[in-house]
Amino acid sequence: MDSPYRGPEPHGRLLDLAGITVGWLAAALLLRPFHNTPFIDDWVYAWSVERLLQAGDLRILDLSTHLNPVQILWGTLFCLPFGFSFTALRLSTWVVGLLGLWGMYLLLRDQGVSRRDVLLGTACLAAYPIYVILSFSFMTDIHLVVCAIWATMAFLRAAERRSDAWLWVAVGLSCAAVGIRIVGAVLPIAMMLTLLIEREGWGRRKARFVWPATALVFLAVIAWWLQGQVEVVADLSGLPNSRESRLRLLRDYGARLWPVMSVSATTFLAGALGLALLPVSAGVVHRRRLGVTLIVIVVLGTGVATARSLTRSHYPPLTPGQTWEPGELGATKPLVPDHDEPATSGRWMWIVTAVTLVSASVLVERSARRLDTPDRFLLLQVLGQLLLVALLWLFYDRYALVLVPAALVLTLRGGPILRPRITGALVILVGSVSLVGARDHLEYNRALWKAVAHLEVLGVEPADFDGGYVVNGWLQYAHPERARRGPGGSVEVPNVNESATIPRYRISNRAMGGWKLVASIPYTQWTAPSGSVYVLEQPR
């Protein structure tokens, strides 16, 4: 391993950071991803930005399950020069994604990882398809991940240098994390526990272990304040993913199902992290340590078998319903009417499960050592997120993204990458998948919103057509003055808060028998069959 990067190497560091920036910028110039359109749920958070710019008050749409004032304020800054647009919001997250790569580089260098392995590790994160596609959106995930990276770097610097200033920086970044998503509370709790059990006692002197609780107080304050700032559009108590339904499920079933869900959470995170860090795990596997790896494989395999036998609650990556699945990156097509989910064979599921669990076992083996302060803090983050996944049923691949940096640091702190060529080749392969997958997503997204524009040219009001969750959500639910009203005056938006209404027009993934074809907008894809987005009219 090269000498730790703790000393004055500013020239080399700046060159590396410049190279990371050029690579990230080149991907953006190649893909041109800054569409003025929403992505999955980000229209829910974009509404708050639009409201703040127009009315001057900060409010949260009732469909949101996150209290994210920090993200809203960040997005507002990028909209100030030219007004509200999804283009500005996508650009704001792209900048955050770049800051995350800078932070990942500096964090790994701080931990004594060689320059070669730091660059490979940072490239592994930059190439990960979920990191790429979410960096071109206004979803909360990238903002949370980047706050976690920088907070981890600041806290570990504080612990190593016995620096109160760096500790307060870490606390401030933890406040930002909890101001984006509640699960960010894992960071200050992990800091408190790490300082409390720190052997030399620095964390206990001056009650420093209490300082991170500032972030928890901040979370309580914004939760109290924002409960009076919720914009209620419709009754959402019956929706499975609403805040009310999640709390009800947690109250009624959380304690009873938590043991089984903990097993599922362990195998889910193992699969997600095993896939995300596959280029690194392939480069660090050591024949002399295969015994430990095999033991971990047996344990994880037993967990998968147990979860499936009890509740069938096994959530392998690269399967339908995830952000990243074969043939699609971005989960956009399933949110448009009449999507035919491609069949997934059981053989494919078990191949993915086996590969990702083997990769995760290699990561665990590499991280198995006598723990020091950084290891404790990183492992506490992993444990905390695992508990939240089990408790809140967060079995979705992008929810595991927050742990990818921690797992990467734990792995690379254990020694050098033994086969850098394999790691480099896999990073290039995964990066290519990201670029092609993002390109295909953007191509489909262009066709979808061209279909919306076609209906607008025809003079069709948003309440008179069904474009799926994202289209209906932004055009109608976020702007209820355009939405259809029920008999009692309640807002009824297809595929958002009701499913019985069938408007006259429909944007569809396929031509439907009995419907008149109004327009067909073709798109080309490289990872799946090309096709068209159809504009249909229901016969009178």
Query: Average pLDDT, stretch 381-390?
Result: 93
Average pLDDT taken over every residue of the chain: 91
pLDDT at 289 over 90: no
Question: Which tens digits make up the pLDDT trace of 148-166?
Answer: 999 999 999 999 999 999 9
CA–CA separation, 46 and 289 (whole Å): 49
pLDDT at 260 over 80: no
> Is residue 428 assigned to a domain?
no
Residues 492 and 457 in one domain: yes
pLDDT at 256 over 80: no
Taking the alpha carbons at both ends of the chain, their separation in whole angstroms is 73
Matching residue, tokens 């009178």? 540
Nearest Cα to 107, choosing from 164, 150, 148?
A: 150
Question: Which tens digits make up the pLDDT trace of 38-93?
Answer: 999 999 999 999 999 999 999 999 998 888 999 999 999 999 999 999 999 999 99
Residues 146 and 274 in one domain: no
> Is residue 226 assigned to a domain?
yes
How many domains does the structure of the chain reveal? 3
pLDDT at 108 over 90: yes
pLDDT at 344 over 80: no
The four Cα atoms 8, 10, 15, 17 give a dihedral, to 10 degrees, of 100
Question: Which tens digits make up the pLDDT trace of 441-475?
Answer: 999 999 999 999 999 999 999 999 999 999 999 99
Residues 228 and 349 in one domain: no
Say if residues 136 and 92 touch (Cβ distance below 8 Å): no
Residue 7, pLDDT score = 43
Query: Average pLDDT, stretch 187-197?
Result: 96
Matching residue, tokens 């690269």? 318
Residue 210, pLDDT score = 96
Residues 205 and 272 in one domain: no
Supply φ then ψ for residue 536, to 5 degrees.
-120, 155
331/193: higher pLDDT: 193
Ordered DSSP codes for 107-120: HHHHTT--HHHHHH
Residues 297 and 211 in one domain: no
Supply φ then ψ for residue 325, to 5 degrees.
-140, 165
Cα 504 to its chain centre, rounded Å, is 35
CA–CA separation, 523 and 443 (whole Å): 6
Query: Could you say which of 184, 207, 234 is where a domain stops?
Result: 234
> Is residue 423 assigned to a domain?
no
Query: Average pLDDT, stretch 478-501?
Result: 87
Residue 21 is which amino acid? T
Residue 501, pLDDT score = 78
Residues 287 and 230 in one domain: no
In the chain, what percentage of residues exceed pLDDT 90? 71
pLDDT at 5 over 70: no
Query: Average pLDDT, stretch 94-111?
Result: 97
Longest dimension (CA), the chain: 79
CA–CA separation, 537 and 465 (whole Å): 9
Say if residues 497 and 61 touch (Cβ distance below 8 Å): no
Residues 411 and 512 in one domain: no
Give the H/E segment covering residue 449: helix 420-457
CA–CA separation, 35 and 32 (whole Å): 8
Would you say the C-alpha torsion 89, 181, 406, 13 has a positive or negative sign? positive
> Is residue 108 assigned to a domain?
yes
pLDDT category, 1, cuts 50, 70, 90?
very low
pLDDT category, 244, cuts 50, 70, 90?
low
Is the pTM higher than 0.85? The answer reads yes
pLDDT category, 408, cuts 50, 70, 90?
very high
254/123: higher pLDDT: 123
Matching residue, tokens 């409010």? 59
> Is residue 223 assigned to a domain?
yes
> Is residue 244 assigned to a domain?
no
Residues 204 and 134 in one domain: yes
CA–CA separation, 198 and 167 (whole Å): 14
CA distances from 136 to 103, 106, 213, 435 (A): 18, 23, 33, 12
pLDDT at 327 over 90: no
224/2: higher pLDDT: 224
Query: Which region, left, alpha or beta, applies to residue 201 given φ > 0 means left and ψ of -120 to 50 means alpha?
Result: left
Residues 268 and 371 in one domain: yes
Q: Is 72 exposed, middle or buried (0-12, 13-18, 19+ CB in 10 A)?
A: buried
Residue 456, pLDDT score = 95
Say if residues 323 and 398 touch (Cβ distance below 8 Å): yes
pLDDT at 314 over 80: no
> Is residue 137 assigned to a domain?
yes
The whole domain housing 54 covers 1-234
Residue 8, pLDDT score = 45
Number of H helices, E strands in the chain: 18, 10
Residue 304, pLDDT score = 85
> Is residue 346 assigned to a domain?
yes
Half-sphere exposure of 364 toward its Cβ, with a 13 Å CA cutoff?
25
Residues 226 and 260 in one domain: no
Residues 493 and 364 in one domain: no
Say if residues 403 and 381 touch (Cβ distance below 8 Å): yes
pLDDT at 6 over 80: no
Residues 314 and 190 in one domain: no
Range from 2-16, 293-307, 380-394, 436-450 that averages highest in pLDDT = 436-450
